[in-house]
Amino acid sequence: MYKILLSYLLLCILPPLHAQDTTGRTPINNRLLQFSDFKGKHKRDSASAVIFTDINWYPKQLPKTGQQPNYSADVYMYPYESTVKTSWLDTAVDSIKQRVLHHEQGHYNISHIGALELNYMLKRFVFDEKRAILQADSMRNIIVWRVKKLQRLYDNQSDHSRNHYWQKAWDVCIEHGLKLRTLRVFPQL
């Protein structure tokens, strides 16, 4: 009787625990970032704000025999790793806060463009049934490498939003990338 009761309790309690997303990642979808999205403890002296994003695909399973997988990709923000310096947030003027938030939105959008391009690749690629997961991971790794390269260049050229000329140039490229769903709009690649 004890084992049956224990089994019943475990079945009732454990599924909700497994259903929660333990990664802490958050899809932003089609809304703009807000400083309240940055929930991590700020550890850097130089940057006013830092965003952490990731691109991933799912479901991570092999397709059924004779079928192509139906993989999709998405971009996520990690709010508890993304930070804003609270002392800066309390003292900065609104126009500078908006400029920095706009710049961080650019980082998220570059990752979002990468996810859009990965989706395009996943939908059009003819997967090998036994190697589909490896092939999808390889595509993701290529996109993530390109996104990281662009993120570094974005910060370097825009000087973290302080160089207005380069920030505007990047804004145009990012806007085109979102419309065309590809990283190929960036001449730096």
Mean pLDDT to the nearest integer, 124-150: 97
pLDDT of residue 9: 32
pLDDT of residue 47: 82
Name the token pair of 118. Answer: 């990965």
Mean pLDDT to the nearest integer, 88-110: 96
Distance CA 157, CA 180 (A): 23
* pLDDT greater than 70 at residue 7: no
Q: Is the peptide bond before 27 cis (omega within 30 degrees of 0)?
A: no
* pLDDT greater than 60 at residue 83: yes
